A and B are shown apart, each in its own frame.
Chain A
Amino acid sequence: MEFFKSDKIYNFMGKRLPFLGFSSLLIIASIVLLLTKGVNFGIDFEGGTIVQAKYEQKAPVNQIRDILKQTDYKNATITEFGSAEEVIIRITGSSSSITNDIGDEIHKILKPTGNFEIRRVDIVGPKVGGELREKGLMAFGLSLIVILAYVSFRFEWRFAIASILALAHDIIIALGAISLFSIEVNLDILAAVLTLLGYSLNDTIIVFDRVRESVQSSKEDVLEKLVNESVSKTLSRTTLTSLTTFFVVATLYIFGGEIINGFAFTMLVGIIVGTYSSIFVASSFLVQLKFSINDFRTKEASKLKRQKEKDKMRAMYEQGTI
């Protein structure tokens, strides 16, 4: 079975401006969303309390709301969680007392609403929230730097810039989707975004590796054509891997339960965007950055020459005939 005719070369670069335009639109929309709607930070980063309760029957959300209104937890928000029996009660603020537990109190307060079980109580104090936020940002920044360094070292600086731009593209759009669908941003979402970083780069690198290889092996001098050839040759791989990963993450989204939903959703969006960007966007950046085939060839050739000379020297030295 084949998805794409392997010898067909698609003219991606000829249409790169419309694609870049489309991407720009998505990015602008995402940024506008992020600036106006913002992201919904969960308790891991903001601090606060979450109580998850499961009722034996359908959860009486309105009754819970009314009862809590008369207590200290006026500002609590109550939402259904996964099923009609389960609710999540979010409370801003946290208690620093070890013995007076918010979970216990909620349990007592809600006694009249029926039979339920408290399944989860998460309390994150402001100190920990701040620390997690700081560490999260550090991890994010550090990942970008490490990737930039690695790609520059293995490829060339234009590849590194193009892959970072493609990454930024993917991450911004994924964040836009997180904002649009009001996904609660917690540690697991951060993990998903960082995984995307790796995943999307993974995709891009496979394409770039092909470009690098073609520059050396093919006689083609026009960058656009060369890139078209490389992207087309890797198209089957890109789509197949993305498909398998997509399906697997989709099953995680469908069957993984409510707790892993945000994670799976973020990954789903990221896989789609990442696949799109490694086919249509990353290489376009490379072309826009005016990557020079000839310079690269000369550089590689001189590298090869130097290596050859070194080998020759060594051979002569070893034979003792300097």
Chain B
Amino acid sequence: MKIFNYRLVIFALSIIFGVAFAIPSFMQTDSGKKISLGLDLQGGLHMRLGVNTNEAVTSKIKTIATSIKYYADDEDLLIDGLSIDNESVSFTILDKDEIPKMDEMLKQIKGLDISKDELSYTLKLTAADIAKTEDLAVSQAVETIRNRLDQFGLAEPSVVRQGATDIVVELPGIKTLAEEKAARELISKPAKLELMEVDEQRADQVYTLSRSQASEYGDIILEDTKDANTKYLVKEIPILNGSQVIDAQVAFDQSNQAIINFTLNSTGARIFGDFTGKSIGKRLAVVLDGKVYSAPNIRERIGGGSGQISGGFTLVEAGNVAIALRSGALPASVNLLEKRSVGPSLGADSIKASLIALISGLAIVFFFMIVYYRRAGVIANIALITNIFIIISVMAMFGATLTLPGMAGIVLTVGMAVDSNVIINERIRELLKSGVSVTKAIEDGYSNAMRAILDANVTTLLVAVILYAYGTGPIKGFAVTISIGILASMLTAILGTHGIYEALLGKISKDKDLKKWFGVN
């Protein structure tokens, strides 16, 4: 009679562990680590977005052109034909003597591949720099989207990079379609603010010029945000872009229309001040995401580095644009690769259905085991219950997410976890029938069954590991519960039940009626 054998002690500890750490998940208390429910169970939005990284490269080219233009203006270098295409910037310098100065300036810009033909320059990004720019674009996009969602006020948004160009966004707790739509708009808004110079020389030709003709002059044609028929001819190279914006707030103008005030950093403020100082009388187009919001006349030099965007926003729109501006522009546009949205009512239905399945499954297994093995069945059932508690505890501890397939995994574990005990009990029965003593039957039953149980469990575990490695979201959840279930069953069904038998050995040995214990005739 060894009541306190080491197996029983370990089993008792695992019961305590299982119950203690499962309580927060069951009670949904605020304290303690809980299992988090997957989006398919609590409702929410899962999106996989692809970043169009080539746009980041184009935009970098554009920035280089902007700084060349600014530098040339600043230093009074005469350049002509400054233009960009997707991959390169080109221009000609008018005075041969100024070449060394320009070269010196270009040296400051890293990752450039410069080719020169007498007076004309062509600048390209090196392959390494393109790769770096693309990589940076994705991590910047992750950062930007995360910032925006944080300010949007959703509970626990998750934004993670996946692979070279993709981003996975998960928004649990989205309740309505309208909320979802607002979140999607916020995520995808490029929020690219550009301050551009209206080409006053050719402004009246805007309705007759074609786009390609305009680009010959280094201009582009942009539409007004409210009225697509109103067009503006602006210089292709912006004076400033959104990267210099450090703050943006909603305010109201005289007629109580929502507007957005933005503030520029010091570099931006200097460029803005210089430009407005020498362009009095000309128009400045405030361009957001490729649409002109307003194009006011410059009446005086604007120092201090603040400006405003007006253009008939609703209050909510203005708020979202301000959030987007504050969190910075998306370095490149994103497109939707995968979206899964589950309404909260569907999630609740799924939880209910799988709980019913779990409970009735448990009931059936309990019934079967007790009818078939009598008290040995009761012992196996204790192990099974502990097993479920341990799965929940371990998942809660590691912050694992319970998904619908994960629930299916738990239900399946219920069916399969008694397997070890069935194998062991069958062995014990066999030995008892061959006339061995109870003590020896139990000992040999466990050791004989062990090899088969190990081999069987290891193979299932291997498949689960592969499922985890190659699965996505929900499938991973399934693999996790199955793996934990198998490992836990080694602890409970093999070690735990053995401990119970050891403790009860004296009692069983004295009992003449073994039918009561193992259901054996």
Interfacial residues, chain A to chain B (CB-CB below 8 A) = 1-2, 6-7, 52, 54, 94-99, 101, 103-104, 107, 117-125, 127-128, 132, 135-136, 138-139, 142-143, 146-147, 150-151, 154, 187-188, 190-191, 194-195, 197-199, 201-202, 205-206, 209-210, 213, 233-234, 236-237, 240-241, 243-249, 251-252, 254-257, 259-260, 263-264, 267
Which chain B residues numbered 165 to 208 have a C-beta less than 8 Å away from chain A? 177, 180-181, 184-185, 187-188
The answer, among B345, B419, B451, for a CB contact under 8 Å with A241, is: B419
Least distance between B287 CB and chain A CB atoms (Å): 19
Contacts known (A120-B346, A260-B408); A150 close to B458, Cβ less than 8 A: yes
User: Which residues of B sit under 8 angstroms from A151, Cβ to Cβ?
Assistant: 459
Q: Per a CB cutoff under 8 Å, which of B48, B184, B185, B426 touches A128? A: B48
Chain B's nearest CB lies how many Å from the CB of A109? 14
Which segment, of B88-96, B126-134, B291-299, B461-469, faces chain A? B461-469
Partner of A98, one of B49, B345, B458: B49
Indicate if the CB atoms of A98 and B422 lie closer than 8 Å: no
Residue of A nearest to B464 (CB): A198
CA distance A185 to B477 in the complex (A): 19
Q: Does B9 contact A (CB under 8 A)?
A: no
For the complex, what is the distance from the CA of A7 to the CA of B520, rounded to whole Å? 13
Contacts of A237 in B (CB 8 A): 419, 422-423, 426
Could you tell me the distance between the alpha carbons of A230 and B99 in the complex, rounded to whole angstroms? 91
Nearest to A7 among chain B residues (CB) is B433
Which residues of chain B come closer than 8 Å to A245, judged between CB atoms? 412, 415-416, 419
- The residues of A that contact B24 with a CB separation of less than 8 Å are none
Residue from the list A104, A138, A198 in contact with B459, Cβ < 8 A: A198
Residues of chain B having any CB pair with chain A under 8 Å: 47-50, 177, 180-181, 184-185, 187-188, 334-343, 345-346, 349-350, 353-354, 356-357, 360-361, 364-365, 368-369, 371-372, 404-405, 407-408, 411-412, 414-416, 418-419, 422-423, 426, 429-430, 433, 448, 451-452, 455-460, 462-464, 466-467, 469-472, 474-475, 478-479, 482, 519-521
A-B interface, 9 closest residue pairs, ranked by CB to CB distance from nearest: A245-B415, A248-B415, A257-B353, A248-B361, A139-B470, A98-B188, A209-B452, A198-B460, A198-B463
**Residues of the B chain whose Cβ atoms lie less than 8 Å from the Cβ of A198:** 459-460, 462-464
A–B pairs, 5, beta carbons within 8 Å: A6-B433, A123-B340, A199-B416, A241-B415, A248-B415
A133 to B287, CA, bound (A): 43
User: Chain B interface secondary structure, helix, strand, loop or mixed?
Assistant: helix
Report the Cα distance A259→B340, complex, angstroms. 14
Residue of B nearest to A256 (CB): B357
Q: When A and B form their complex, what is the total count of cross-chain residue pairs whose Cβ atoms lie within 8 Å?
A: 241
Name the A residues within 8 Å of B361 (CB-CB): 247-248, 251-252
B475 near A188 with CB under 8 A, answer yes
* Complex contact A191–B364 (CB within 8 A): no
Contact call A117/B452, Cβ cutoff below 8 A: no
Instruction: Name the B residues within 8 Å of A150 (CB-CB).
Output: 458-459, 462
Chain A residue at minimum C-beta to C-beta distance from B185: A99
**B415 pairs with A244, CB closer than 8 A:** yes
Instruction: Tell me which of A124, A146, A199 contacts B466 (CB under 8 A).
Output: A146
Q: How long is the Cα–Cα vector from A194 to B360 in the complex, in angstroms? A: 25
Residues on B with beta carbons closer than 8 Å to the beta carbon of A120? 340-343, 346
How many whole Å from B197's CB to the nearest CB in chain A? 30
Report the bound CA distance from A39 to B96 in whole Å. 71
Chain A positions within 8 Å of B422 at CB level: 237, 240-241, 244
A309 to B404, CA, bound (A): 55
Is A6 a contact of B354 with CB atoms below 8 Å?
A: no
Please indicate the chain B residues that have their CB under 8 angstroms from the CB of A6 in the complex: 429-430, 433
CB distance from B330 to the nearest CB of A (A): 11
Check B459–A205 contact: CB distance below 8 A.
yes
Bound-state Cα–Cα, A6 to B49, Å: 60
Name the residue of chain B whose CB is nearest to the CB of A154.
B455
User: For B48, what are the chain A residues with a Cβ–Cβ distance below 8 Å?
Assistant: 128
B371 touches A119 (CB 8 A): no
Shortest B463–chain A CB gap in Å is 4
Q: Is B338 a contact partner of A128 (Cβ separation < 8 A)?
A: yes
Contact check, A125 vs B353: say whether CB atoms are below 8 A apart. Answer: no
Complex formed: what's the CA distance from A205 to B420 in Å?
13
Contact of A202 among B47, B187, B419 (CB under 8 A): B419
Q: Is there contact, CB below 8 Å, between A249 and B412?
A: yes
A residues in contact with B357, CB < 8 Å: 248, 251-252, 254-256
Cα distance, A254 to B521, chains bound together (Å): 36
Inter-chain contacts of B412 with A (CB < 8 A): 195, 245, 248-249, 252, 267
Q: Is the CB of A248 within 8 A of B419?
A: no
Min distance, Cβ B338 to any Cβ of chain A, angstroms: 4
Known pairs A104-B177, A244-B368, A260-B354 / 20 extra A-B pairs, C-beta < 8 Å: A1-B372, A97-B336, A98-B334, A99-B188, A122-B341, A123-B338, A135-B471, A198-B460, A199-B416, A202-B457, A213-B451, A241-B416, A244-B415, A244-B422, A247-B365, A248-B415, A252-B357, A256-B353, A257-B350, A260-B350
Which one, A104, A257, A259, contacts B181 given CB within 8 A? A104
The CA of A264 and the CA of B409, in the complex, are separated in Å by 11
In the complex the two chains form, what is the Cα distance from A280 to B149 in whole Å? 58
Beyond A98-B336, A206-B452, whether A119 also contacts B368 by CB under 8 A is no
Residues of B within 8 A of A206 (CB): 423, 452, 456
Contacts of A124 in B (CB 8 A): 338
